Amino acid sequence: MINRLAGIRKSRGVAAVDLAAQAGITRQAIYAIEAGTYMPNTAVALKLARALETTVEELFALDPEDHPLAELRVFEPLDGADLLAPGEPIQICRVGRRAIGVAAPLFPAYLPVADGIISDSTHATIAGESDDTNRLLIAGCDPALSVLAAHAREAGIDVVLANGNSARSLEWLRDGKIDIAGTHLDDPAASRRGFSVVTFALWEEGLVVRRGNPKAIRRVEDLGNPGVEFINREEGSGSRRLFDTLIASAGMTSSKLKGSRNAAAGHLAAAWAVASGAADCCIAASSGARRFGLDFIPLASERFELVIHKRDLTRKAVQGVLDVLNRSRFRRQLEVIAGYDVSRAGETTL
């Protein structure tokens, strides 16, 4: 990325604090943009260009010689018996002179981070003092929300994630039970009654099948083959809505598809059913297929969005999370690990 902000600002004799005031951001954000560690969204870029009497293209441009977003590294598997598949997530740790690769476990191997334990349906026993004043509760079904939570914590914001499909997450938001709802329903109702919608990423949903696609599943019509075991998604999920739409367009009846009455709650749960052999196919986000090294046949491109009460946009914790969406390191991780298109991440559509 070619970034001329610092040079143009200094040539105009504009102080960083003055430019920040005109763009509606902090002075620290100006320095971060100039250093290339923070990527401004469209609105901020336009304000910077207007303040400096230039164009966005003059301030920022793609460099054809830019370094690739990802590098290929050699590693040694921690356990030589592990069967690692392309697309699976991995962490690499330098141990002495060796680069050791550790694949993500199929199931949690350790206790989750928690404040305490449940005493009964409405009470919990907390271990010591708990400060929840700087916490945000985000609900949604996108497996990559964990990447957002990790980067938010680095910025000093404690994010708690709740697994919920798009419809349920929006319902929780309207009931005042969560701070941010993640959805890919493309539902105009999400923007009503004082809500703002921010793009998280563009992703693909499609058919997730076993490695090598042994049942030769290429389209939804193939789910009607008697030898194919399908697993559906729960009612209210965006994947279920996509499935129902595609089946109706194909003139098929879902009740006649083997396994279609069985439902998995979440993209990873559905993909795991395929990886474990409990099903031959499901509909899920591409990140679900990547998690278990499965094959993926895209069916639809969608926008995963974060819906927020407009009254909460000025909250420091919310602003911090939205800032993360514009950080280069976060975007690179989302592209490489989840395979998402982050070109419009952080854009406020309403």
Give the pLDDT score at 199: 93
Shared-domain flag, residues 288 and 208: yes
Give the pLDDT score at 344: 87
Phi, psi of 285 (to 5 degrees): -70, 155
Shared-domain flag, residues 183 and 310: yes
Q: What is the pTM of this model?
A: 0.76
Instruction: Kindly calculate the radius of gyration of the chain based on its CA atoms and give it in whole angstroms.
Output: 22
Do 348 and 198 form a contact (C-beta atoms < 8 A)? yes
Burial code of 303-328, b = ≥16 C-beta within 10 A, e = fewer? Answer: bbbbbbbeebeeeebbebbbbbbbbb
* Residues paired with residue 21 on neighbouring β-strands, in sequence order: none
Shared-domain flag, residues 50 and 97: no
Specify the number of domains making up the chain.
Answer: 4
Q: Alpha helix (H) ranges present in the chain? A: 5-11, 16-23, 27-35, 42-51, 56-59, 145-154, 166-174, 238-249, 267-275, 286-291, 316-324, 328-333
- Give the residue among 202, 230, 216 at the shortest CA–CA distance from 300: 202
Residue at 264 is within a domain: yes
Decide which of 26, 43, 61 is a domain's last residue: 61
CATH number of 290's domain: 3.40.190.10
- Give the residue among 177, 166, 223, 229 at the shortest CA–CA distance from 200: 166
Q: How far apart are CA 21 and CA 181, in angstroms?
A: 30
- Cα end-to-end distance, the chain, whole Å: 28
Give the pLDDT score at 43: 79
Burial code of 40-71, b = ≥16 C-beta within 10 A, e = fewer? Answer: bbeebbebbbebbeeeeeebbeeeeeeeeeee
Residue at 121 is within a domain: no
Do 345 and 331 form a contact (C-beta atoms < 8 A)? yes
Residue at 140 is within a domain: yes
* Residues paired with residue 208 on neighbouring β-strands, in sequence order: 282, 296
Given 3-state DSSP classes, what are the helix, strand and coil percentages for the chain, each rounded to the nearest 5? 35, 25, 40
Give the number of other Cβ atoms within 10 Å of residue 172's Cβ.
Answer: 17
Residue at 13 is within a domain: yes
Shared-domain flag, residues 173 and 86: no
Shared-domain flag, residues 175 and 254: no
Give the pLDDT score at 255: 83
Shared-domain flag, residues 244 and 279: yes
Residue at 100 is within a domain: yes
Range of the domain at 282: 204-301
Q: How far apart are CA 140 and CA 266, in angstroms?
A: 9
Residue at 181 is within a domain: yes
Do 273 and 231 form a contact (C-beta atoms < 8 A)? yes
- DSSP conformation letters of 155-198: TT-EEEEEE--HHHHHHHHHTTS-SEEEE-S--GGGGTTTEEEE
CATH number of 19's domain: 1.10.260.40
Shared-domain flag, residues 193 and 161: yes
For tokens 């993640």, name the residue: 182
Give the number of other Cβ atoms within 10 Å of residue 125's Cβ.
Answer: 9
Give the pLDDT score at 266: 92
Written as tens digits, the pLDDT of the chain (350 aa) is 678 888 898 888 899 889 989 988 888 788 878 877 777 877 788 889 889 988 888 888 765 544 455 678 888 888 776 667 787 888 888 888 888 888 877 777 778 778 888 888 888 888 776 666 678 999 999 999 999 999 999 988 989 999 999 999 999 999 999 999 999 987 655 556 789 999 999 999 999 999 999 999 999 999 999 999 999 999 999 999 999 999 999 999 888 899 988 999 999 999 999 999 999 999 999 999 999 999 999 999 999 999 999 999 889 899 999 999 988 889 999 998 899 999 888 888 76
Shared-domain flag, residues 92 and 27: no
Shared-domain flag, residues 144 and 79: no
Q: 271: which 2 tokens?
A: 């993909």
Residue at 116 is within a domain: no
For tokens 């499909």, name the residue: 165
Residue at 118 is within a domain: no
Give the pLDDT score at 66: 47
Shared-domain flag, residues 166 and 195: yes
Q: How far apart are CA 159 and CA 146, in angstroms?
A: 9
Query: Judging by DSSP bridges, how do beta strands 158-163 and 281-285 pair with one another?
Result: unpaired
Shared-domain flag, residues 19 and 37: yes
Shared-domain flag, residues 309 and 189: yes
